[in-house]
Structure 1
Amino acid sequence: MAEHSIVSPLPGTFYRRSAPDAPNYIEVGGAVECGAVIGLIEVMKQFSELHADKTGTLVAFHVEDGDPIEPGQLLAVIESDE
């Protein structure tokens, strides 16, 4: 098994769901497909989707919902067979 880090491509605020009353895109321990949305990054009221770059299991988030983030900051880790 290999671990793959997902880092922020830009500064902003990280969200794990599309709206306050919506479920999280994915939970820790959940299966994730390559290209699946795992969160949103909001910059000045514009939202960009954050996608998984590997198929596997989401083993950790390193930020909480609503946390401010910086470019290059580690956001999540996926474990995969690749």
Structure 2
Amino acid sequence: MSEKNSIVAPIPGVFYRKPSPDQDVYVQEGQIVKPGDTVGMIEVMKNFYEIKAEEEGIIERFVVESEELVDAGQEIAIIQKK
């Protein structure tokens, strides 16, 4: 059985899976990510902060939807370690 970890929000704000409304999502569920890969961003008062993967693995699923409010420490996605 593979180990699973969470990607969590470092700050409260609005979570986005896309860099802008007319672009594709940063990563799809099932996609492999490496440390430093952007998986989303959080907007706080018109400032945008990239959320990056901290380890290599496969994005199993996103726990929150795009444009959903998140709190600091809230789980955003589940990553299955390789």
TM-score tier after normalising by the smaller chain length = over 0.9
Question: Which residue of structure 1 aligns with residue 19 of structure 2?
Answer: 18
Structure 1 gaps, min length 5: none
Question: Which residue of structure 2 aligns with residue 42 of structure 1?
Answer: 43
Structure 2 gaps, min length 5: none
- Report if aligned partners of 1:7, 1:74 keep a CA contact under 8 Å in 2: yes
Structure 1 stretches of 4+ moved >3 Å: none
Q: Does residue 72 of structure 2 align to residue 71 of structure 1?
A: yes
- Report if aligned partners of 1:4, 1:54 keep a CA contact under 8 Å in 2: no
Identity, in percent, stands at 40
The amino acid across from 2:61 in the alignment is: A
Question: Which residue of structure 2 aligns with residue 54 of structure 1?
Answer: 55
TM-score by length of 2: 0.95
Displacement of 1:72 in angstroms is 0.9
TM-score by length of 1: 0.95
Displacement of 1:80 in angstroms is 1.0
